[in-house]
């Protein structure tokens, strides 16, 4: 007796059902994958926060940053990450990389050793930072996938040019001494980068940002893409915020109602048309 084979129609029905199930499950799998990245990102920030707090406890409340190290809010000296790692016994630099931002990797010298290799298309090898003296490590800086509210030098004295986006246009308060912060549970210290060209959430570009005069070899991105789009493409899903007291909160992009223009501060460094906007929930 011959075994009955599937008919063409039956095979098509099975294939259709499988395709339908994949269509239904894919968004859920994508959300689960992104949630895992958000959780890992939060863990990275908590470890950074631990190192910063431990360093500050041993240094009269001062955060581990150095004047004159870069102009942008994501610039951080080689010595700063070294000091954080030493304070908390951190062995891997992976905690300084947001898993949702594939452009910036801790072993990619174009970012990790930005002040040396920003104009070089080759990713490797890294220079040996252990062979550098402390003064050299202070003078050289990384372009991080997180932004830091650390006070870093003369340009940031001009904080009147950098507003927090509130109706009253209040100046940004830089973190210098943690013991002097009045509301440490409300003051962001390190957070996911959300940057854009344009300050209208419905018409701003948040990903695939290029700047041929600064670096023609790669694109810059905000962290944590969502599935939603505006007129210019994908928009962020939100960002993790590390506060001065050490806790981390995930803030939905819809609740990030403060945008901070680079204004006079960054124009001094990069010209009046530098145009980048930073986004976070200030209060």
In a domain, 37, yes or no: yes
pLDDT > 90: percent of the chain = 39
In a domain, 23, yes or no: yes
In a domain, 79, yes or no: yes
Residue 139 phi, psi (nearest 5)? -80, -20
3-state secondary structure at position 118: coil
In a domain, 3, yes or no: no
In a domain, 130, yes or no: yes
How many domains is the chain partitioned into structurally? 1
In a domain, 153, yes or no: yes
In a domain, 235, yes or no: yes
**Domain that includes residue 205, residue range:** 10-280
pLDDT in tens, 215-265: 666 778 899 999 899 999 999 999 999 999 999 999 999 988 665 655 433
d(CA 62, CA 181) in angstroms, rounded, equals: 11
Instruction: Please check the confidence at residue 199 and state whether its pLDDT lies above 90.
Output: no
| CB neighbourhood size of 144 (10 A) | 25
**DSSP alpha helices (H): ranges in the chain?**
8-57, 78-88, 109-112, 114-117, 134-139, 263-270
In a domain, 1, yes or no: no
> What pLDDT shows up at residue 251?
94
pLDDT in tens, 114-158: 989 887 877 778 999 999 999 999 999 998 999 898 877 655 554
Q: Is the pTM of this model over 0.85?
A: no
């Amino acid at each position: 007796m011959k075994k009955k084979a599937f008919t063409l129609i039956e095979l098509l029905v099975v294939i259709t059902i499988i395709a339908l199930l994949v269509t239904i499950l894919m968004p859920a799998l994508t959300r689960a994958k992104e949630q895992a990245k958000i959780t890992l990102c939060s863990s990275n920030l908590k470890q950074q926060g631990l190192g910063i707090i431990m360093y500050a406890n041993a240094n009269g409340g001062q955060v581990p940053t150095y004047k004159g190290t870069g102009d942008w809010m994501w610039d951080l000296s080689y010595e700063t990450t070294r000091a954080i790692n030493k304070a908390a016994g951190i062995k891997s630099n992976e905690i300084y990389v947001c898993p949702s931002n594939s452009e910036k990797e801790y072993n990619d010298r174009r970012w990790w050793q930005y002040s040396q290799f920003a104009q070089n298309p080759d990713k490797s090898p890294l220079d040996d930072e252990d062979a550098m003296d402390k003064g050299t490590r202070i003078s050289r800086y990384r372009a991080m996938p997180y932004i830091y509210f650390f006070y870093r030098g003369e340009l940031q004295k001009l904080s009147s040019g950098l507003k927090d986006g509130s109706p009253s246009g209040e100046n940004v308060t830089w973190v210098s001494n943690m013991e002097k912060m009045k509301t440490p549970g409300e003051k962001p210290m390190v957070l996911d980068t959300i940057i854009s060209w344009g300050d209208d959430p419905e018409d701003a570009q948040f990903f695939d940002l290029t700047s041929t005069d600064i670096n023609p070899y790669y694109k810059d991105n905000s962290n944590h893409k969502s599935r939603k789009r505006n007129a210019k493409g994908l928009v962020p899903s939100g960002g993790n915020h590390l506060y001065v007291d050490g806790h981390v909160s995930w803030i939905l992009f819809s609740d990030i109602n403060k945008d901070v223009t680079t204004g006079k501060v960054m124009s001094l460094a990069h010209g009046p048309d530098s145009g980048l906007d930073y986004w976070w929930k200030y209060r």
